[in-house]
Amino acid sequence: MKDPFSVSETEHPPREQTRMIHPHEGGGQQARTAAPVLQRGTTVLLPACGAFAGPGPTYGRGGLATQTALRAALCDLEAGEGCVLYPSGLAALSGAILALCRAGDEIVMCDTIYAPTRRFVESGLSAYGVSLKLFDPASSPEEIAAGFSERTRLLVMESPGSLTLDMLDVPQLAALARARGVLSLVDNTFAAGVLFKPLEHGVDVSVQALTKYVCGHSDVFMGAAVARGEAAAMLRRSARDVGWTVSSDDAYLALRGLKTLHTRLARHGASALEVARWLADQPRVAEVLCPALPGARGHALFARDYAGTNGLVTVVLDGPMAATSAFLDSLALFGLGFSWGGFESLAIPCNDQLAQRQTGARWPQPVIRLHVGLEATADLIAELDQALARFEAACAASDTHTTPARARVAR
């Protein structure tokens, strides 16, 4: 490369304004650090005219040292051949689905999919002539595959599914899809790429919201799709055409998160199981939705396929909907807010979102999704204990309140 400062004594040296524009030497060779390299940049300065055609990086949008290291780490984690980074988990799902489908195709998807993914396919993709068929996660793999048509292009799964944590037989479904020439995609956010490896079970694409456990500190939006074979090539082409990119700083934070991912996940999982066991023994708890819990729905598939669980536990309270706020508003360590996968405990009411599903269990009682964070588990259980006491009091109040009303209706 030409060095703008290597001018002979007889030529004019560049002026100060010019010197500020061109790169200065950073003290020789870059030192090797334990922390990842953070390389920002849009323009790549090429060594000579012949380098414009590649094969090295020619423009920052395709990713520089930091994004390249993150993609390599995620391929390693999920046994993939290619990885595309997206600016959020939802963008990774919509981006990957967009890359794999054409006008006239049909997508077969579980009804327990993350709701914004369903909205993208239902209202976003329908404008491009792609149709959607939803299936009940309780259906057998054969029943689900019997719903494939000539137009079915892609099977979209999430297991455990959002909110209610319903399990799917992913290996079996992936095999049935492959036999019919249908591509398969799993939203693997629950597993964080660690607890379950879809690509090792015949799935074509594993997508995850890195926003959750990989970044892990409730401060970065990012998503990734990891794939093999033809699906990896389709994702790569589409990402190049559409122009998805993530900032180097955010990619750095994702790489940093990977260093402690397994340790954090083990702690989230152990605490969540302790909370789930405790909840299952409480009189005002109707059901604990946590497939890692022996005896819970989906436990057999979970024990077969999963290496462990994460911090998610959903609890069905035994009482009227009107008592929901007594439980939630008494929480302080559990923040009220969407998302999960950060260090902190969170809770959300699920009933409104569940009402939008076409299939699956319906509960007339409050359904609360908890994310068990990295706080001391005993503190979290003590807080849930007082929340259940408030809930109990609200149930009693609502009983005395509604009895005369019911009596009036009866008369």
Using CB under 6 A, list all residues that contact ligand PLP. Answer: 88-90, 93, 114, 158, 162, 187, 189, 209, 211-212, 221, 223, 339
Picking from 246, 195, 252, the residue whose alpha carbon sits closest to that of residue 225 is 246
Crossing angle between the packed helical segments 248-280 and 377-410, to the nearest 10 degrees: 60
Annotation marks residue 166 as catalytic? no
| Cβ 299 to ligand PLP shortest distance, Å | 20
SS3 360: coil
Annotated active-site residue in 61, 259, 277, 390: 61
Contact 212, 340 (CB under 8 A): yes
CA–CA dist 224, 93 (Å, integer): 8
CA–CA dist 67, 381 (Å, integer): 40
Picking from 93, 88, 84, the residue whose alpha carbon sits closest to that of residue 115 is 93
Count CB neighbours of 376 within 10 A: 10
Annotation marks residue 102 as catalytic? no
Contact 316, 285 (CB under 8 A): yes
Looking at the Cβ atoms of 65 and 115, the one nearer to ligand PLP is 115
Looking at the Cβ atoms of 325 and 353, the one nearer to ligand PLP is 353
Looking at the Cβ atoms of 88 and 314, the one nearer to ligand PLP is 88
Count CB neighbours of 109 within 10 A: 23
Strands 205-209 and 223-227: antiparallel
Annotated active-site residue in 166, 187, 250, 318: 187
| Cβ 213 to ligand PLP shortest distance, Å | 10
Asked whether the bond before 55 is cis by omega within 30 degrees of 0, the reply is yes
CA–CA dist 57, 60 (Å, integer): 7
CA–CA dist 235, 256 (Å, integer): 25
Annotated active-site residue in 197, 212, 264, 357: 212
| Cβ 88 to ligand PLP shortest distance, Å | 4
Q: Facing residues of 207 across strands?
A: 187, 225
Q: Burial of 181 by CB count in 10 Å (0-12 exposed, 13-18 middle, 19+ buried)?
A: exposed
Looking at the Cβ atoms of 90 and 174, the one nearer to ligand PLP is 90
User: What is the C-alpha radius of gyration for the chain, rounded to an integer number of angstroms?
Assistant: 25
Looking at the Cβ atoms of 106 and 187, the one nearer to ligand PLP is 187
Residue nearest to ligand PLP (CB): 89
What sign for the dihedral angle of Cα 260, 262, 268, 270? negative
Annotation marks residue 61 as catalytic? yes
| Cβ 89 to ligand PLP shortest distance, Å | 2
Looking at the Cβ atoms of 162 and 330, the one nearer to ligand PLP is 162
| Cβ 158 to ligand PLP shortest distance, Å | 6
| Cβ 212 to ligand PLP shortest distance, Å | 6
- Residue for token pair 């849930």: 384
Please state, in angstroms and as integers, the Cα–Cα distance from residue 397 to each residue in 326, 366, 394, 400, 403, following that order. 11, 16, 5, 5, 10
CA 21 to chain centre: 41
| Cβ 197 to ligand PLP shortest distance, Å | 17
The token duo for 13 is: 């040296």
Looking at the Cβ atoms of 152 and 189, the one nearer to ligand PLP is 189
Annotation marks residue 284 as catalytic? no
Looking at the Cβ atoms of 120 and 327, the one nearer to ligand PLP is 120
Angle 366-219-253 (CA atoms, 0-180°, nearest 5)? 135
Annotated active-site residue in 71, 86, 111, 114: 114
| Cβ 208 to ligand PLP shortest distance, Å | 8
Indicate which residues carry an active-site annotation.
61, 114, 187, 212
